[in-house]
Amino acid sequence: MRVPIFSLSIILASVLLGVAVPKLVGQAGMRERMAHLGVSAGRTRVIGVLEAAAVAGLLLGLLWWPLGVAAAVGVALLLLGAVGFHLRARDPFPMTVVPLVFALAAAALAVLHVLDN
């Protein structure tokens, strides 16, 4: 089961890094998207920090599975929160389903870590 764990960890870490960096540097486009969702600039940076921490947790979780489980669960919860914000903003279905799919992938990763150990 190591290949699915490795693959999901790398995919999730890549996606999270891709959305964390614009939040951390305060990219204008990201600030606009987050403002549309009703998220302040300060909270956007906090979310970016959480996403960056999740990247580290997912990657280090490849070496120590309990950290991988914790990071995957945290990612799933963070992304379920994103789904809620998209629903509240009445965003189109594709914008809402993307974080849901990644939340499910993170949950699957947590289960795979547990089953592998």
- pLDDT given for residue 46 in this prediction: 95
Q: What is the pLDDT of residues 25-62, one digit of tens each?
A: 999 999 999 999 999 999 999 999 999 999 999 999 99
Q: Tell me: the pLDDT tens digits for 62-114?
A: 999 999 999 999 999 999 999 999 999 999 999 999 999 999 999 999 999 99
Query: Domain range for residue 108?
Result: 2-116
CB 57 within 8 A of CB 80: no
pTM: 0.92
Four-residue CA torsion sign, 26, 78, 58, 95: negative
Q: How confident is the model at residue 13 (pLDDT cuts 50, 70, 90)?
A: very high
Distances (CA, A) of 108 to 26, 40, 49, 83: 31, 31, 23, 17
Domain count, the chain: 1
Res 42: pLDDT: 93
